[in-house]
Amino acid sequence: MELILKQDVENLGFKDDVVKVKNGYGRNFLIPQGMAILATPSAKKVLAENLKQRAFKEKKIVDDAQALAKKLAALEVKIAAKAGAGDKLFGSVGTADLSAALADAGHEVDKKFIKLAGSTVKRLGKYTASIRLHREVSASLDFEVVKAAEE
């Protein structure tokens, strides 16, 4: 079954991609959730026309994403977290914490576009996160988890 994706779907494709999926996955999940439409010949023509019109806008968006990637690479992010004996944290630091730290630095990045190795950080130290800014642009961000000051 061929479908046109209406939004990004993890491990399948990006918005406006034409993908082949099994019939049940398309009929029972993607189409009812509003994530995809059937790839009929007329829908493909409409998609091609939309992509042609959007090509110029897309170039500007990619350039903005690359500029943001350079800014993020130069950024020093420190996240303060409560830690016990040694370097073990009380709780963990996840993508939401990293997204909030980036927002404090003036860069709005949604937490669903941030990937951490192991999904959470449970110890003090330096780590690297992967941030997808656009389907063609991703950046790696180095950050450090430090011990919060005791009150």
> How many whole angstroms separate alpha carbon 25 and alpha carbon 32?
10
CB-count burial class (<10 Å; 0-12, 13-18, 19+) for 97 = buried
Structural domains in the chain, CATH included, are 2-61 (3.40.5.10), 68-147 (3.10.430.100)
pLDDT, one tens digit per residue, over 85-127 is 778 888 888 888 888 888 888 888 888 888 888 788 888 888 8
Report the percent of the chain where pLDDT is more than 90.
24
pLDDT, one tens digit per residue, over 29-88 is 999 999 999 999 999 999 998 888 888 788 888 888 888 888 888 888 888 888 887 788
Question: In the structure encoding, which two tokens stand for residue 116, read together?
Answer: 């951490």
Asked if 97 and 63 count as a contact pair (C-beta separation under 8 A), the reply is no
> How many whole angstroms separate alpha carbon 126 and alpha carbon 104?
19
Positions of E strands within 46-86: 77-81
> How many whole angstroms separate alpha carbon 112 and alpha carbon 36?
20
